[in-house]
Amino acid sequence: VAKTSLTSPPWPEVKLPDPAEEAKYHAEVVQKVNGLISAGRYGRLFAVVHFASKQWKITSEDLIMMDNVLEAECGDRIRMEKVLLVGADDFTLIGRPLLGKELVRVEATVIEKTESWPKVNMRFWRRHNYQRKKIIANPQTVLRINTIEIYPCLS
């Protein structure tokens, strides 16, 4: 059959490596990362966490504000599950889509439960003598992320 411009796809053909070799390589990499974690040779850790229907990229000691009411009093420690990604300077652990609870631990404290600034909600129809004005102040919570910890139990 003659070769036309559409016989092979336009992207370069990729050859996958041997599965056995790949498994060996994966095991080696996992062992190295485990060793690094257990030796404690990582600097700041950052994590991507799914919380309050939003994904946040957080490090330790940073502030997050959400537009809802949590059922925790001020000063309570909260543990966040649903961690999607954890990274340090040399390595990152990517979850599919979540990481295990024995791997990562993210702790936060509820600092403040205030209301937002007063927002004006006004409805007006012209020539119909209809206007309604309402002032809305949503409750908000402020959290401070205390720590992000990882434990060397990869596989």
Partner 1 sequence: RYVRQLQRLQLLFSPTAADARGARQFVEEAAQDFARQHPDVVLYVSPRSGPGPAPVLRAEYLNGTVRDELIASKTSEEIVQLATKLANQSGLDIIRIRKPFHTDYPSVQGQWHPLTNKPSILTVQGPRLQPQ
Query: Would you count residue 46 as binding partner 1 (CB under 8 A)?
Result: yes
Min separation Cβ 19 and partner 1, Å: 27
31 vs 114, beta carbon nearer partner 1: 114
Distance CA 34, CA 91 (A): 11
Answer for which of 36, 50, 66, 100 binds partner 1 (CB under 8 A) is: 66
- Residue 31 neighbours by CB under 8 Å, 6+ apart: none
Answer for which of 24, 30, 31, 115 binds partner 1 (CB under 8 A) is: 115
Scanning 8-16, 33-41, 81-89, 100-108 for contacts with partner 1 by CB under 8 A, the matching segment is: 81-89
Distance CA 3, CA 84 (A): 45
Scanning 12-20, 22-30, 62-70, 121-129 for contacts with partner 1 by CB under 8 A, the matching segment is: 62-70
Q: How many residues bind partner 1 (CB under 8 A)?
A: 30
Query: Would you count residue 94 as binding partner 1 (CB under 8 A)?
Result: no
Contact of 143 with 110, CB cutoff 8 Å? yes
Query: Would you count residue 59 as binding partner 1 (CB under 8 A)?
Result: yes
Find where tokens 């439960």 sit. Answer: 113
Query: Would you count residue 43 as binding partner 1 (CB under 8 A)?
Result: yes
- Residue 100 neighbours by CB under 8 Å, 6+ apart: 153
Closest CA to 61 of 45, 79, 37: 45
23 vs 69, beta carbon nearer partner 1: 69
Footprint of partner 1 (CB under 8 A): 43-46, 56, 58-59, 61-67, 74-75, 87-89, 92, 109, 111-118, 142
